[in-house]
Every structure is written in structure tokens, then in C-alpha cells.
Amino acid sequence: MKPTPLIAGNWKMNFLPSEAVRWLESFVEQLELVPHQHADILLNAPFTHLLPLAELAEGTPVRIGAQDVSPHQAGAYTGEVSGPMLKDVGATFVIVGHSERRAYHAEDDTLVNAKIIAARTESLVPILCVGESEAQREAGEALPVVLGQLEADLQGVSLRSSGELVIAYEPVWAIGTGKTASADDAQEMCAAIRSALKRLFPRLADDMRVLYGGSMNPENAGELLSKPDVNGGLIGGASLKIDSLLAIIEAAA
């Protein structure tokens, strides 16, 4: 049986905290009017938004996550935010290794691996992002690049249950570009990711969630989410609009 789809917004650096609170109030009201019980719903917000959003989301179907975590637990790391801090304000998930952080903040697989372990230490669920660049895909290297990231990023990670880790396949060339991987290409890569997960976590991989991310929108979500190894979406631009996110949730049914 397919795992329950996870529809996860990645708000990136958008909305003021006060705007985010109004957005969530309105979203929760409108969510009640559409079928949504078939999916888990998550919003990954900037650090400054987490506390008010998590308080507001309590008792609703919406869960709140962060977009990054320090590999350290506490100490002299100016500007960093730790796993214990995220947990304390009510975040339950955290995006790790997003391609924007790999590109603009020089995050390599060693750091991403340390962040995954830091998140797990606090029982946060990491959403590990992997994906190839356009040049890598054109050179026929997409598969080894993605599987190489996966293996390096998950070194020494042990899991007790399938819900403790989520993988997001996010081809870099599809992020924020309006270009989407075809549903067949997304399926092929997500299936390859699951095969690799079977080697790492033999008992759990069938039930682990592998998401697709990259210009997912209400028009293409239904086809992408219908694929057997695509268990949800990590959604940037379209998660900022209530109508679009609700339409993607409906498409996951």
C-alpha cells in the first residue's frame, strides 16, 4: 500500500510573521471545506514564523516545519538555530540539504549528513532534498548524482520507523523555473531512490515517503502524485497561494 501522501509547502523566505498567521487562519478555515483527510499537510516556514504558526496549527490537520537546522545542539554559533530550539517552538519536520542552501551557502554532503543526524537526535523528521542540475541531467549523470547524495547524506543514520525520514527528489533545473520533470521521469528517479533506501533501511523503505519537488502546481500535481513511488510534493511557489495549495491537496486523493 502507498504511504499517506505528504503535501509539504516550502515557503522559503516569504511572508512576514504577521502575514503568515493571517494566511494560516484563512487556510485552516478553507481546508475544512475540501477533502483533505487522505493527505498529511505540512508548512515549512522561516524560523521567525514557527512559534506563532505552531501555536495556531495545534488541533488542526496542519503541521509546521523549519527549513534548516544547525548541526550543533547549542553554543557559540552566531546566527544558527538548533534542533532543540525547533522542537521547543513546535516544529516537527525540517528541510535539510535544499539545493538553494547547497548552492548559496556552500552546504556539502558532510554538513547535510551532520544536520540529518542533529535533526534525528531531537526526533525531528528531516526532509532530505536531493537532485541533479541541468548540466548533470544533460550529461546523463542524474541517477549517480542523486544516489551519491543520498548515500553520503544518510551515512550513519539509523531509523526505527518509516515515518522518521522523508526524501524529496528536487531536480535543480525544475525549481522555480516553471519546468517540471515529466511524471515518468519523476517516477523513475523516485523508484531508484526507493531501491537505494531498501539497501539502507530494508524493512522500512516500502513505507517511506519519497516526494517530488520542482514547479509542482495544481495542473501537474494529479499526474505526478498518481505515480506509485511519488508519495507527495515539496512545493515552493504554489504553496504561497491558498487556492493552489488546496488544489494540490485535492489532487493527492
The interface mask with ligand 13P, positions 68-107, x = CB under 6 A, is ------------------------------x---------
- Enter the C-alpha cell of residue 110: 558532510
CB of 176 to ligand 13P, least distance (A): 4
Nearer to ligand 13P, 66 or 216 (CB): 216
* CB contact burial 8-41 (16+ within 10 A = b; e otherwise): bbbbbebbeeeebbebbeebbeebeeeebeebbb
| Stretch in the footprint of ligand 13P (CB under 6 A) among 27-35, 55-63, 133-141, 230-238 | 230-238
Q: Is 98 a catalytic residue?
A: yes
Please, what is the angle between helix 242-251 and helix 17-31, to 10°?
40
The interface mask with ligand 13P, positions 173-192, x = CB under 6 A, is --xx----------------
- Cβ pair 41, 31 in contact under 8 A: yes
Among 40, 109, 170, 229, binds ligand 13P (CB under 6 A): 170
Q: Is position 232 an interface residue for ligand 13P (rule: CB under 6 A)?
A: no
Nearer to ligand 13P, 46 or 237 (CB): 237
- Cβ pair 122, 89 in contact under 8 A: no
What is the C-alpha R_g of the chain? 17
Compute how many other C-beta atoms are within 10 angstroms of the C-beta atom of residue 70: 20
Q: Is position 67 an interface residue for ligand 13P (rule: CB under 6 A)?
A: no
Using CB under 6 A as the criterion, which residues of the chain lie in contact with ligand 13P when the complex forms?
10, 98, 170, 175-176, 213-216, 234-238
